[in-house]
Structure 1
Amino acid sequence: MAAILFDLDGTLIDSAPDIHAEANRTLAAERLPPLTFAQVRGFIGKGVPNLIARLLEASGQPFEGPQHDRMVARFTAAYETAVDLTVIYPQVVPALTALRAGGHRLGLVTNKPIRPTHAVLAHLGLDSLFETVWGGDSLAVRKPDPAPLLAGLEALGGGPAIYVGDSETDAETAARAGLPFLLYTEGYRKTPAEDLPQAGRFDDFRDLPGLVAGLLATQG
């Protein structure tokens, strides 16, 4: 049996519509024009401070300083309730349930702040599936620093482990933590899937339990 750790946004849930809506509300409060869904979706994955920096950069504004800090605070305060447009990717719940039934321990390691993370997990009914949850502000560093992933692994008791994510940041985090990485190809990745370091990839969560079993067999 293994510790299986997951990213959240772009891996288990599609939260881009909520993030896009809240990003544009944050821009509007600064009297800045809205950005497109595709633009904002491309900024997701490295945490709220990076998201706001990219919003400002795309708006032709300085991406450091008081305006950045003010927008981070505004976005973070609203983010906890930005859940209405977010959906679970198809077949996620059956896959996670099957992994738990097989004796695997599940954890979550995301760059989303911890309070919005818990809020969206509760809203979608996913909170009971994970034994440990780490957000982008749970430690002093966030992914791709490996510390949150290693902390999640330690909380699950160590042992054989796999990280499942959708992005360049997730691939780098797994590599730096020394963990095999399984890539969900339908998330927010911008790099071609074949160019990311990985132990395997999938586009349908029904395939995940078999990928996990096969990967553990080769490690055993």
Structure 2
Amino acid sequence: MKLNERMAGPMKLTAVLFDLDGTLVDSSQDITNNLNRALEDLGFGSLSKETVLSHVGYGAPYLIEKCLSEFLPPTEISKDTIVNGLAGFRNHYLAHLIDTSAPYPGVSEFLDRLEAVPLGVISNKPEDVVQGVL
């Protein structure tokens, strides 16, 4: 029997895993606001939401470095600046974690329909941040 033949009927779900940001929750404005707060702490200006989001998805250190490169050539971005930017972003984000973040429309109702199925969340965010969003 081929794989697609075995999958033709109904499947019993044993668990469902979801990505947090961009799947369950729209946190794009909170990420942008808190990243801009961290940049301003370092003496830089603000970036547009579109610019910030173009660097999201590879972890906070990458986000900080790429956003700093919007103001400085990469060769002028020191490790200390990245570390300080990362600390500032984390501090601001923890203080303003869910100012504007919200589940996407229909997510809550969909999750309610899966009440008998074990659910999990996958994220590259630190666990304390994920718990705060949930």
Q: TM-score range by the shorter chain?
A: 0.7 to 0.9
2:132 aligned partner: 119
2:108 alignment partner, one of 80, 89, 93: 93
- Partner of 2:45: helix, strand, or coil? coil
Which runs of 5 or more structure 2 residues have no equivalent in the other structure? 1-12
- Partner of 1:58: helix, strand, or coil? coil
2:91 aligned partner: 77
Q: Per-residue deviation at 1:61? A: 4.5
Quick check: 1:30 aligned with 2:42? yes
1:4-83 equivalences under 5 Å are: 4-62=16-74, 63-82=77-96, 83=98
Aligned residue identity for 2:69: E
Distance 1:29 1:61, change over 3 A: farther
- Partner of 2:95: helix, strand, or coil? coil
- Partner of 1:107: helix, strand, or coil? strand
- Partner of 1:60: helix, strand, or coil? coil
Cα distance in 1, alignment partners of residues 83 and 42 from structure 2:
12
Cα distance in 1, alignment partners of residues 78 and 105 from structure 2:
38
Cα distance in 2, alignment partners of residues 20 and 77 from structure 1:
14
Structure 1 contact 80–120 (Cα < 8 Å) conserved: no
Detail structure 1 runs of 4+ shifted over 3 Å in the superposition. Answer: 61-64
Q: Per-residue deviation at 1:81? A: 2.6
Cα distance in 2, alignment partners of residues 24 and 98 from structure 1:
38
- Partner of 2:69: helix, strand, or coil? helix
Structure 1 contact 52–72 (Cα < 8 Å) conserved: yes
Cα distance in 2, alignment partners of residues 72 and 56 from structure 1:
11
TM-score, with length taken from structure 2: 0.82
Query: CA RMSD, aligned part only?
Result: 1.4
1:105 aligned partner: 118
Which runs of 5 or more structure 1 residues have no equivalent in the other structure? 122-220
- Which structure exhibits the higher relative contact order, with contacts defined as CA atoms closer than 8 Å and separated by 6 or more residues? 2
Cα distance in 2, alignment partners of residues 8 and 117 from structure 1:
8
TM-score, with length taken from structure 1: 0.51
Cα distance in 2, alignment partners of residues 24 and 95 from structure 1:
33
